[in-house]
Structure 1
Amino acid sequence: MAFGFDFKREEEVKEYIENLGIEYRFGCFKEKKPQVCHLLGDYLESIKRDFEKAGKVYRSNCLDHNYGKSCLKIGNYTLIGKGLLTGDAEAALPYFEKGCELGDPTSCLHAGLLLAGAGPNFKVKKDIPRGYNYLKKSCDADDDKACQYLSGMYLVGVPRDYKNFNPHKPEENKNVDFLIKPNPKEAFKFALKACECGNIYACANVSMMYNKGDGVEKNPELAEKYKTITLELQKASELTKELKFQQGLENK
């Protein structure tokens, strides 16, 4: 598709970009290809910066063509108000749920977080069992954030009523009615999976849990191993940020 274009010449770059948009429109509107419709949405979003049109394409591709990634996109647009007047978490939730049903793990994550009450400004009625199921589905698909969040739920527990709940003093929670009871073994299991999926915070938790013997048999050698993994992930993250910063300077 790019053959014959000299990308060092501004006019040819512009021509290529316009032709790309034409190809995506044809593939979406004429050939009805969901993957191409999603690419058209990405094109309108990142190249044309027309978020309103991009949102319409994502919405149609989600509802009409059952494309999970587009459900995630229009869910995010609806959540934060991108291309719209105001954000609406309640209206965003069905898009995330549909995206999850269509096999998109990040949609499962977002649906789970909303239902679990993870966002302080999101006015969605809490439903911990439903939220848990979405998070579990996302974790099963190797989403590190979902696994880490589940680990946290088991680490301190999820009370039915937060009024008399103190996550920092477990001994004061003996009479608390839990929806999810604290379970160090389950907390460790999900933290380990999150770490294996590359979550730096989970790796740090796994190291500490091995060091203290929380939810797993105490093992100083494994504690040191996961501490090393944590540091390696931290260095990799800092290097990535540095590279992106330098690229930004070069592009100015």
Structure 2
Amino acid sequence: MAYDLQKEEDVKQYIENLGIEYRFGCYHEKKSEVCHLLADYLEAIKKDYKKAATVYKTNCMDYKYGKSCTKYGNYALIGRGKDKPDSKEALEYFEKGCELNDPTSCLHAGVLLTATGPGVTVQRDVPKGYNYLKKSCDARDDMACHYLSGMYLTGVPKNVADFNPHKPEKNKNIDYLIKPDPKQAFNLAMKGCEYGNLFACANVSLMYKKGDGVEQDLEKSKKFFQLAQSLKNAHETTKEIKFQQGLEDKQ
């Protein structure tokens, strides 16, 4: 059937038929990619977050679809489609997604396990979180590489209360789980930049300018600053809500 998408009635009919198609592909053909698309449809078109959460969760656990684990983990984290947020449940689903090789799940699990501050209820486990972040970075997730770079840039203290970000000289004698390592920080920032992270590119520029972790090179500093600006401009001009995430590489 041909649709005239200039006509409101045709658009409505097209959207309804799309939902029917996704339901058939998910419930009858049991295709995990289509189940994920169904959940995206329920989320983006129907605004039925409770049903979307159920489909994401089922698709994660029954059909082992990593991207659905990530989405349900995000729902649990902010309490969407649920009575209240549950960061422990979120971590469970991020870890499941990471086992299923979804880099975004690995990133989110790593951040939850290494983060500190108000509202963080997950037990801190830096070594475990580091491994999740490394797996994500190795799978070319730009944010994971950028996050790891930051960990090496400042170091990860054993006791967060001992760390003073405003007086670095006072941090020399504290115990670290990950010691500051400018060279590692630079290498990971470079990776993140290569994968398209504008913040990583900005850090590479700054490190070249200061000679932190790499030999000082003002020309290269300028080059990476310009690259960061280009990525920033590109990001701002292509902001959009994406549908059909089930067939994309990232959430």
Matching residue of 1:33: 31
Q: Does 1:116 align with 2:123?
A: no
**Structure 1 stretches of 5 or more lacking a match?**
245-252
Q: Percent identity?
A: 63
Give the TM-score taking structure 1 as reference length.
0.91
Deviation at residue 83 of structure 1 after TM alignment:
0.8
Matches within 5 A, 1:1-252: 3-117=1-115, 120-240=118-238
Q: Distance in 2 between matches of 1:227 and 1:210?
A: 10
Give the TM-score taking structure 2 as reference length.
0.91
3-state DSSP of counterpart to 1:78: helix
For residues 19-70 of structure 1, what are the alpha-carbon distances to aligned partners after superposition, in whole Å with 9 as ceiling and x for unaligned?
Answer: 1111111111111111111111111111111111111111000000000010
3-state DSSP of counterpart to 1:64: helix
Conserved? CA contact 1:113–1:119, under 8 Å: no
Q: Distance in 1 between matches of 2:232 and 2:54?
A: 38
Q: Distance in 1 between matches of 2:61 and 2:238?
A: 36
Higher RCO, 1 or 2 (CA under 8 Å, sep at least 6)? 2
Matching residue of 1:247: none
- RMSD across aligned positions (CA): 1.4
Q: Distance in 2 between matches of 1:190 and 1:68?
A: 25
Amino acid corresponding to residue 155 of structure 1 in structure 2: L
Deviation at residue 195 of structure 1 after TM alignment:
1.1
Q: Distance in 2 between matches of 1:153 and 1:131?
A: 11
Q: Distance in 2 between matches of 1:16 and 1:63?
A: 30
Q: Distance in 2 between matches of 1:213 and 1:59?
A: 47
Q: Distance in 1 between matches of 2:8 and 2:181?
A: 60
Q: Distance in 1 between matches of 2:65 and 2:232?
A: 34
Q: Distance in 2 between matches of 1:74 and 1:7?
A: 32
Q: Would the alpha carbon gap of residues 118 and 36 (structure 1) be closer, same or farther in structure 2, given more than 3 Å must change?
A: farther
Conserved? CA contact 1:108–1:134, under 8 Å: yes
Deviation at residue 118 of structure 1 after TM alignment:
5.2
Deviation at residue 119 of structure 1 after TM alignment:
6.3
3-state DSSP of counterpart to 2:162: coil
Deviation at residue 225 of structure 1 after TM alignment:
1.1
Deviation at residue 115 of structure 1 after TM alignment:
0.3
- Point out 4+ residue stretches in structure 1 off by more than 3 angstroms: 237-241
Of 105-114 and 212-221, the range deviating more from structure 2: 212-221
Q: Would the alpha carbon gap of residues 238 and 13 (structure 1) be closer, same or farther in structure 2, given more than 3 Å must change?
A: closer
**Structure 2 stretches of 5 or more lacking a match?**
241-251
Larger radius of gyration: 1
